[in-house]
C-alpha cells in the first residue's frame, strides 16, 4: 500500500492522525466459515487469509475475504464464555472493529487517548517472517472500536498470525465492489452530538453535513444525522440518532434489536451500479422495494443523467444530485436475522453528498419492511 500524502479536502478538519483509508472491517459472527461462504457467494468476495486452530489460536477463528480495496474479517468463538461470544449473544452478528490505516499507529492512539478517547488496546507490534505491523485501538459508540493499523513494514498476507487462505476450486467472480465509501452508526437518543464532539476532538474529524428531522422524516418516523469526515475525505462516518415521530423509526428498531449503539450499514462503491446490482440480485441479495411513482419525477428533480431510467426503475436504484454532480444508490434488506445491519451500494458521478433527495422514498421503503416485521408501531 502506497502511503503518499493525500490531498486535504476539508480544510477545517484538524486531521492530526492522518488516516489513509479503511484497513479492514471485522464482524463478530456466529459461524465464520459459513459467513465467509456467504460473502464470497452472494457479494463476490475472494478468499484471502485465515487464523484459527491451524495457526495456533485456541479461542477464535477468523476468515478474511477481499474485494478490490475492501477487506472483511469474519470472526467466531471456538468455545463458550468468550468476549466474542458475549458480543454475538447481545448484538447478533455485527461490526466490532472499523480498522483505520495510518502511518503511525502509536501516535494516532496516543493522540486520541490524550484527547479523551477510551483505550481498547494499547500499541502492540506483531511480527513474522514478512515484517511487522503495529496496531492500537480505541472505543467509539457502543462496543464498536477503531483499531489503528500501521503496516508500512509488512509485506505478508493481511497481518502476522494469519496464513494465506486459498480456495482454487471455489472463487466466485467479483460483483464490482471497489472500496468502503462510508459507514453509518446508530446512536441513542440525544447522543449524536456527543459522538460528533468525540470525532472532532479525539480524531480531528470535521462535521461536513447535518440533517435534522425536517430533512429526514415521513408521515410516521424521523431521525437526525451528522456526517463526520477526516481531512482527505477517505473516512466518512454519518451518525444517526432517533427523533420524535408518530411511530418507531428505523434507528429505534435498530437500537432495540442490536441492544445498543453500533454500525447500521456499510456503503460500498462501484463504478457500474446497474451491472453490480443485477449481479447481486442474481446471487440472492435482496434490496428495498422503491415505489414506481419515485421514477415519474426523477429527471425533473435531478436533471440529465447518463443512465436510462428504465433499468434504474427495474432494479430500484435511487438518484440524487448536488452541486458537484450526481450519485446512484441502493440499499439491501438487513443481511442478518435481526433487523440491524445492511449494505448500501453507491456510485458517485461527482456528487459528494449522501442522497438527501432520496431520504423520503428510502425511509418509506424501510417503513414498509418494518410493517411486515411488526416493528413500526
Does 213 share its domain with 160? no
Q: What is the CA radius of gyration of the chain?
A: 20
Residue 345's beta-bridge partner residues? 268, 330
- The reply to whether 13 falls in a domain is no
Q: What are phi and psi of 20, to 5 degrees?
A: -85, -25
What is the CATH number for 36?
A: 3.10.180.10
128 and 238: one domain? no
Instruction: Write the DSSP assignment of 114-146 as a string of letters.
Output: HTTPPEEEEEEEEEETTEEEEEEEEE-STT-EE
Residue 169 belongs to a domain: no
Residues 98 and 145 grouped into a single domain:
yes
Whether 4 maps to a domain, the answer reads no
pLDDT of res. 6: 58
CA distance 349 to 328: 8
Domain boundary among 115, 130, 164: 164
Return the C-alpha cell found at 157. Answer: 498476507
Query: pLDDT (tens digit, 0 to 9) for every residue of the chain, 377 residues total?
Result: 444 455 666 666 576 788 999 999 999 999 999 999 999 999 999 999 999 999 999 999 999 999 999 999 999 999 999 999 999 999 999 999 999 999 999 999 999 999 999 999 999 999 999 999 999 999 999 999 999 999 999 999 999 999 999 999 999 999 999 999 999 999 999 999 999 999 999 999 999 988 776 776 777 777 888 999 998 889 999 999 998 888 788 999 999 999 999 999 999 999 999 999 999 999 999 999 988 888 988 888 899 999 999 999 999 999 998 889 999 999 999 999 999 999 999 999 998 888 777 777 777 888 889 888 999 87
CB count, 10 Å around CB of 12? 13
Residues 82 and 182 in one domain: no
Residue 35 in domain:
yes
Helices 250-258 and 359-373 pack at an angle, to 10 degrees, of 50
| Nearest of 235, 314, 227 to residue 278 by alpha carbon | 314
Place of cell 458475549: 86
Last residue of a domain, one of 164, 186, 204: 164
φ/ψ of 252, rounded to 5, equals -60, -40
Domain annotation covers residue 5:
no
Residues found in the chain: 377
Tell me what pLDDT residue 293 has.
86
Task: With CA atoms as reference, report the closest residue to 353 among 256, 268, 227.
Answer: 227
Q: Are residues 160 and 182 in the same domain?
A: no
Domain count, the chain: 2
Query: Do 244 and 275 have their domain in common?
Result: yes
- On whether both 248 and 351 belong to a single domain, the answer is yes
Say yes or no: 151 and 222 in one domain.
no
| 142, 72: one domain | yes
Q: Are 161 and 128 in contact (CB under 8 A)?
A: yes
8 A C-beta contact, residue 289 and residue 371: no
Count of helices and strands (H, E) across the chain:
9, 17
How many CA within 13 A on the CB side of residue 318? Answer: 26
Does the residue 240 lie in any domain?
yes
Tell the residue number behind the cell numbers 479536502, with chain if given: 9
Q: How does DSSP classify residue 288?
A: P
The whole-angstrom distance between residue 11's C-alpha and the CA centroid of its chain comes to: 24
| Domain-located, residue 124 | yes
User: Which of these three, 164, 192, 207, is where a domain ends?
Assistant: 164
- Residue 138 and residue 31 in one domain: yes
Same domain, 155 and 190: no
Residue 157 in any domain: the answer is yes
Same domain, 117 and 220: no
Q: What is the span of the domain harbouring residue 188? A: 177-373
Amino acid at each position: 500500500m502506497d502511503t503518499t500524502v493525500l490531498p486535504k479536502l476539508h480544510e477545517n478538519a484538524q486531521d492530526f492522525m492522518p488516516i489513509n483509508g479503511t484497513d479492514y472491517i471485522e464482524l463478530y459472527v456466529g459461524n465464520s466459515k459459513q459467513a465467509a461462504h456467504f460473502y464470497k457467494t452472494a457479494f463476490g468476495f475472494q478468499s484471502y487469509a485465515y487464523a484459527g486452530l491451524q495457526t495456533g489460536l485456541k479461542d477464535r477463528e477468523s476468515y478474511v475475504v477481499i474485494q478490490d480495496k475492501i477487506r472483511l474479517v469474519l470472526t467466531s468463538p471456538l468455545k463458550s464464555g468468550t468476549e466474542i461470544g458475549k458480543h454475538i449473544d447481545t448484538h447478533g452478528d455485527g461490526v466490532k472493529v472499523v480498522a483505520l490505516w495510518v502511518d503511525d499507529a502509536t501516535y494516532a492512539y496516543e493522540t486520541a487517548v490524550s484527547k479523551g478517547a477510551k483505550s481498547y488496546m494499547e500499541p502492540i507490534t506483531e511480527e513474522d517472517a514478512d515484517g511487522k505491523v503495529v496496531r492500537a485501538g480505541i472505543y467509539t459508540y457502543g462496543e464498536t472500536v477503531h483499531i489503528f493499523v500501521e503496516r508500512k513494514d509488512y509485506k505478508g498476507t493481511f497481518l502476522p498470525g494469519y496464513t494465506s487462505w486459498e480456495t482454487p476450486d471455489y472463487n466466485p467472480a467479483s460483483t464490482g465492489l471497489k472500496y468502503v465509501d462510508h459507514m453509518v452508526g446508530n446512536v441513542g437518543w440525544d447522543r449524536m452530538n456527543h459522538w460528533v464532539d468525540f470525532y472532532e476532538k479525539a480524531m480531528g474529524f470535521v462535521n461536513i453535513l447535518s440533517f435534522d428531522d425536517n430533512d429526514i422524516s415521513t408521515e410516521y418516523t424521523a431521525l437526525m444525522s451528522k456526517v463526520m469526515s477526516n481531512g482527505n475525505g477517505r473516512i466518512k462516518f454519518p451518525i444517526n440518532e432517533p427523533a420524535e415521530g408518530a411511530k418507531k423509526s428505523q434507528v429505534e428498531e435498530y437500537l432495540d434489536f442490536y441492544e445498543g449503539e453500533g454500525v447500521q450499514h456499510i456503503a460500498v462503491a462501484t463504478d457500474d451500479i446497474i451491472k453490480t446490482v443485477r449481479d447481486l440480485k442474481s446471487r440472492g441479495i435482496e434490496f428495498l422495494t422503491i415505489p414506481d411513482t419515485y421514477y415519474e419525477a426523477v429527471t425533473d428533480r435531478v436533471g440529465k443523467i447518463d443512465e436510462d431510467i428504465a433499468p434504474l426503475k427495474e432494479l430500484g436504484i435511487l438518484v440524487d444530485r448536488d452541486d458537484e454532480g450526481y450519485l446512484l444508490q441502493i440499499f439491501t434488506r438487513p443481511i442478518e436475522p435481526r433487523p440491524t445491519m445492511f449494505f448500501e451500494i453507491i456510485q458517485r458521478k461527482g456528487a459528494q453528498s449522501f442522497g438527501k433527495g432520496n431520504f423520503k422514498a428510502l425511509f418509506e421503503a424501510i417503513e414498509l419492511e418494518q410493517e411486515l416485521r411488526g416493528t413500526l408501531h
